Amino acid sequence: MTRLRRLFLAPSVTLTVLLFLTPLGILLVYTFLTRGAYGGMGAPWTLENWVRVADPLYLGILVRSVLAAAVSTLLCLVLGFPLALFISRAGRRKNLYLFLVVLPFWTSFLIRTYAWMFLLRDTGLINTLLISAGIVREPLPLLYNYGAVVLGLVYGYLPFMVLPLYAALERIDSNLLEASSDLGAHPWQTLKRVVLPLSAPGVRAGLILVFIPCLGAYLTPDLLGGGKTILIGTLIQNQFSTARDWPFGSAVSLALMAAVMVLLMVLARRHGDSLL
Amino acid sequence: MKIRGLGFYAVLAYFFLHAPIAVLLAFSFNSGRFTVWEGVSFRWYEAALRNSQLLEATLNSLIIAVAATALAATAGTLCAYALWKREARWLTSALTLSLVTPEIVMGISLLAFFQWVFRSFSVHLGMHTVVLAHVTFCLAYVVIVVLARLRTMDNSLEEAALDLGAGEWQAFYRVTLPALGPGIAAAALLAFTISFDDYVITSMVAGVDSETLPMVLYAIARRGANPVVNAISAMIVVALGLLVLVSERFRES
């Protein structure tokens, strides 16, 4: 097997090493360089970029990003759990309901984000309706704020929460639920004491699957936050475009990667889950 | 266990999931420019189809997505098969890491890499760099889907083939690969949609001649309301929807 195996692994190993690990390695080298006058970079070698990552200004952005991601993730859990429960108990129509959750995922993410711009902007549908109904006179500032970003993230990643939750709920033996009710538990008690604990693996998977992309999100804060709500993704992008500070941008990028990896390793080690 | 109101909640949740897109699509048929309904018209579709920049970008997106899907599906399937036979810890970890790497970080690291390579050879950013980037981020998705399929398969068939004198390549090519068909198709569909949809990474590594559809859409969307975006969105949603439906049918039969 060894020769064939080496042959089979060669393309993906080459791709992974050359186009994934090497680029990250280059960023790592960049973090120790000094920014030049015209956006270039070079000697002397320095740790200054890493020190700057810990600057209160940038730590603030990091904290705000973590908060936005955490709030969005929890909202996804709260909104997604009842839906997953509903689907897991839907009997023969399960597949249809599941398909309806996955369907938006097959729609372009960009279009889904644009749909909210279309609804929320000053001349958007919601404001137009509110004004013509005489409820408000001036358009409400619905777009380009923190709330709009969280809304966009929840909308974008809700399916990622529902799927693992559904998978976990689906696996629960219905005899356990019957036993609980036969022994006199109220449905809410069964939900809290039997269903919730048994769905823990799904909850954990859902939290990871939603939190990680939310933390590094760029498109949603950019389009729905409108540059006023700077999150870490926007900060990184700015360093490589307008600010032209590649060394610092690289340091922020790798700090973000490190945060994601630590999170993943802690959860994987505690529970032995793995994505692959 | 019967929980009241769950069905009602589900209706609301599905409304939340689908209404924004539905409204967006409905207004693609609006004859007015603003979000006030003025009557049915196809003028925004006409405007979209007459826009040569959009058509060119669509063609670019299709070429990139097809090329990236073919390459990622091939490399990913071979990789999944090898990993199914015997685990390779570091590769699995690297692929997992590529899945959780924020798009903006992957885009920027690829840009840094391409610039570094191109400094030595005089090549420029273009379709080829976009395809390479897309293969990179699609690979892990293909491996996951195909590996999941392999793990549900009975490997005694392949063992029987080997016992009956087939070589390793023959056993793979004539026994396991055909049975993997639906898994590979599902993986390819996933890779295609992810590639076709990508904006963040693409915008980093694209050159002047390789503007993709999401890049054009993004540029228009940032400038403000434009019903042409609604029309394009409607066409993309319908096209991707058909693709998914056809592949579902294909898988059932």
State the pLDDT confidence band at A103, using cuts at 50, 70 and 90.
confident
Do the Cβ atoms of B21 and A111 come closer than 8 Å? yes
Residues 69-108 of A with CB under 8 A from B: 79, 82-83, 85-87, 89, 97, 100-101, 103-104, 106-108
| Interacting residues of A244 by C-beta distance below 8 A, sequence separation 6+ | A35, A38, A39
Return the DSSP state at A93.
G
> Which tokens in the block code for residue A201?
């693996």
**Residue A145 belongs to what H/E stretch?**
none
Average pLDDT over residues B224-228: 80
Q: What is the pLDDT of residues A248-263, one digit of tens each?
A: 999 999 999 998 888 8
Distance from CA of B195 to the nearest CA of A (A): 10
Segment A118-136 shows an average pLDDT of: 85
Does residue A45 belong to the interface with chain B, where contact is any CB pair within 8 Å?
Answer: no
User: Which one, of B47, B94, B103, lies nearest residue B235 by Cα?
Assistant: B47
Q: Quick one: which of A132, A128, A156, A122 has its CA closest to A226?
A: A122
* Spatial separation of the C-alpha atoms in residues B73 and B188, rounded to whole Å: 6
Q: Residue B110: its pLDDT value, please?
A: 95
Question: CA–CA separation, B159 vs B148, rounded Å?
Answer: 19
A-chain CB neighbours of B85 within 8 Å are: 1, 5
pLDDT value, residue A180? 82
Q: Would you kindly state where each structural domain of chain B is located, as residue ranges?
A: 50-211
Question: Nearest-CA residue of chain A relative to B23?
Answer: A115
State the pLDDT confidence band at B107, using cuts at 50, 70 and 90: very high
Distance from CA of B78 to the nearest CA of A (A): 5
pLDDT tens for A82-94 read 999 999 888 888 8
How do residues B177-189 score in pLDDT, each as one tens digit? 988 988 899 899 9
Q: Are B74 and B229 in contact (CB under 8 A)?
A: no
Encode A50-68: b = buried (16+ Cβ within 10 Å), e = exposed: beebeeeebeebbeebbeb
pLDDT at A273 over 70: no
pLDDT of residue B18: 92
Q: Domain B50-211 is in which class?
A: mainly alpha
Q: How confident is the model at residue B251 (pLDDT cuts 50, 70, 90)?
A: low
CA A178 to CA A262: how far, in whole Å?
40
The interface pTM score, or ipTM, of the predicted complex is 0.88
CB A125 within 8 A of CB A82: no
Sign of the CA dihedral running A139, A143, A148, A153:
positive
Neighbouring-strand partners of residue A34: A42
Across A23-27, A171-175, A238-242, the highest mean pLDDT is recorded for A23-27
The span from the CA of A208 to the CA of A42, in Å, is: 38
- Mean pLDDT of all residues belonging to chain B: 89
Looking at residue B1, what is its pLDDT?
62
Between residues B144 and B119, the one the model is more confident about: B144
Residue A271 is predicted with a pLDDT of 61
Rounded to the nearest 10 degrees, the angle between the axes of helix A109-120 and helix B6-26 is: 90
**How buried is A101 (Cβ within 10 angstroms: 0-12 exposed, 13-18 middle, 19+ buried)?**
buried
| Nearest by Cα to B143 from B86, B235, B212, B73 | B73
Q: What is the pLDDT of residues A134-180, one digit of tens each?
A: 888 888 888 888 889 999 999 999 999 999 999 988 888 878 888 88
The per-residue pLDDT for A166 is 92
- For B13-29, the pLDDT digits (tens) are 999 999 999 998 888 88
Contact A151, B49 (CB under 8 A): no
Place of tokens 């009975």: B154
Residue B43 CA to residue B145 CA, distance in Å, equals 41
Confidence at residue A269, expressed as pLDDT on a 0 to 100 scale: 67
> B4, B12, B17: which to substitute to probe chain A, counting the most A Cβ within 10 Å?
B17
Higher pLDDT among residues A73 and B182, named by residue: A73
The pLDDT value recorded for residue A79 is 95
pLDDT of residue A275: 52
Q: Which of residues 9-28 of A touch B (CB under 8 A)?
A: 9, 11-13, 15-16, 19-24, 26-27
Q: What is the pLDDT of residue A34?
A: 87
Instruction: Answer yes or no: is pLDDT of A132 > 90.
Output: no
Tell me the average pLDDT across B63-68: 96
User: DSSP string spanning B8-63?
Assistant: HHHHHHHHHHHHHHHHHHHGGGBSSSSSS---B--HHHHHHHH-HHHHHHHHHHHH
* Residue A126: band (very low, low, confident or very high) from pLDDT cuts 50, 70, 90: confident
Per DSSP (E only), the strands in chain A are 34-35, 41-42
Q: Measured between beta carbons, which residues in chain B are less than 8 angstroms from residue A158? A: 17
pLDDT in the model for residue A73: 96
Q: What percent of chain B has pLDDT over 70?
A: 98
Distance (Å, rounded) from C-alpha B83 to C-alpha A44? 43
Residue carrying structure tokens 């995922």: A105
pLDDT reported for residue A22: 96
Any idea which architecture A66-231 has in CATH? Orthogonal Bundle (1.10)
Mean predicted lDDT score pLDDT of chain A: 86
Residue numbers in B near A89 (CB within 8 A): 6
A233-260 mean pLDDT: 90
Residue A274 pLDDT exceeds 70? no
Rounded mean pLDDT of B27-38? 81
> Chain A within 8 Å of B240 (Cβ-Cβ)?
yes
Question: For the residues B55-61, what does the mean pLDDT come to?
Answer: 93
pLDDT: which is higher, B140 or B229: B140
